[in-house]
Amino acid sequence: MSLQITRQDLPIRVTASGSVLKIPVFQVTSGLPGPKVYLQANIHGPEIAGIGAIYDFLALLRSLNTVRGTLTIVPSVNPLGLDSKVSGHQTGYADLNETVVGNFNRIYQLWVTDKPSDDPEAPQKVVLDTFAEQHRHSDLPMIKQAFRAALGAAIADYTAKNAPYGMRHGQKLALTIQRLSYDADYLIDLHTAGDAIYHLFTFEECLSAARYFNLRHTIQLDESFSGVLDEAFLQPWLRLQKAFQKLGRTIPFADFGVEAFTPELGSADTLDRIAMREDAERVANYLRYRGVLDGRAIRHEGEFFYAKQDHYRRYHAPTGGLILWHKHAGDRVMAGETIATLLRTYALEADGTGETEIPIVALEDGVIISASESQVTHEGMGICSILTRLQSL
């Protein structure tokens, strides 16, 4: 059977003027058994590099005869985000039409829980201890199949109990994405970050793939849940492993065969012809490594680093002003070095005095991963993020 690519458009929102926003979803298969891959980009409206990467990745797929398994591919998953502009600037990190504004990548839900809800009318999640007990002696394929069925049932129950009241747009968007992806084996959510170098967010269990994506700086996610898609996808499996462990059954995590990645493809609101091709190749190379695409995967050599999430430090402006950069994304900094100066001309007195220059000093050694795109800041706004306590991968 030859390669088949189909497109389906999912309506996601009707605007006041009657326009219908739709999400194009591509399904790719050649009928061969194999993993299920979920790949998306552009949940944050300004983050367009992933749209270009997927455009080239789809072209690459069309040149192939076969894939193993199926791929669900969404080049631009958030039309409202992409369309959000204010005075010419891309602004779609959150739904600007909401009174309760939430980051579009903090909207996802965890469909597992440690204890059942005592309200029978509340949406029912998968109760981990109960599930593990029921499948104490099941083989792995049965566990995986039953767990996915239970996750799907939890999503359906939540939808059925909330839909009659209407849903916030972010809630509907999250449910749509989780319905497309919950039963995948590999999830890849393409992002960018301010004025940034390439980097990766993933879990300890998936670190080895960084060399196949050719992403040299990785932030290793911890066990906290903040509503991010990679967490919502992988944490149910990590927690399931622990539930079995409590019963005395050790299941190596790799045996579940699930992985999740958030590659950050450089800076926001930029698109580049060469980068599109290179970024498509990153995804393709990882999928060769995982046997979805034919061909030899390249394990990139050289220095790769990772650090734990707690050591990925965000610096916030201590006061308002204008940012004069001394360092840039990709630069290494030493503790005590000045990263930037906040220029506060409003503090300037007639006699030339005033606290007009506030240095922003690195507190630890590290690498600047991303920096604010704007040089105008209020107190408390993010200035830059520095990866510290780097370990070799």
Coil, strand or helix at 231: helix
Q: Which is nearer to Zn ion, 64 or 275 (CB)?
A: 275
For residue 137, the one-letter residue type is H
Q: Which is nearer to Zn ion, 27 or 103 (CB)?
A: 103
- DSSP conformational letter for 106: G
By Cβ distance, which residue is nearest to Zn ion? Answer: 191
Cα angle, residue 243 at apex, residues 238 and 247 outer, rounded to 5°: 140
Which range of residues in 114-122, 191-199, 231-239, 341-349 is near Zn ion by CB under 5 A? Answer: 191-199
Which among 389, 370, 382 has a CA at the least distance from the CA of 331?
A: 370
Residue 199 binds to Zn ion (criterion: CB under 5 A): no
Which residues inside 47-66 make contact with Zn ion, applying CB under 5 A? 47
Residue 191 binds to Zn ion (criterion: CB under 5 A): yes
Q: How far is the CB of 106 from Zn ion (least distance, A)?
A: 11
Which among 94, 80, 107 has a CA at the least distance from the CA of 167?
A: 107
> Tokens in use for 47?
């983050």
Q: Which is nearer to Zn ion, 81 or 321 (CB)?
A: 81
Q: Which is nearer to Zn ion, 86 or 334 (CB)?
A: 86
Which range of residues in 32-40, 187-195, 235-243, 306-314 is near Zn ion by CB under 5 A? Answer: 187-195
Q: How far is the CB of 253 from Zn ion (least distance, A)?
A: 26
Which among 316, 347, 107, 143 has a CA at the least distance from the CA of 241?
A: 143
Residue 44 binds to Zn ion (criterion: CB under 5 A): yes
Q: How far is the CB of 238 from Zn ion (least distance, A)?
A: 22
- DSSP conformational letter for 250: -
Which range of residues in 37-45, 215-223, 275-283, 384-392 is near Zn ion by CB under 5 A? Answer: 37-45
Name residues whose C-beta falls within 8 Å of residue 317's C-beta, 6 or more positions apart in sequence.
Answer: 323, 342, 360, 377, 378, 379, 380, 381, 382, 383
| Contact of 342 with 321, CB cutoff 8 Å | yes
Which range of residues in 62-70, 134-142, 189-197, 293-301 is near Zn ion by CB under 5 A? Answer: 189-197
Residue 125 binds to Zn ion (criterion: CB under 5 A): no
- Contact residues: Zn ion, CB under 5 A: 44, 47, 191
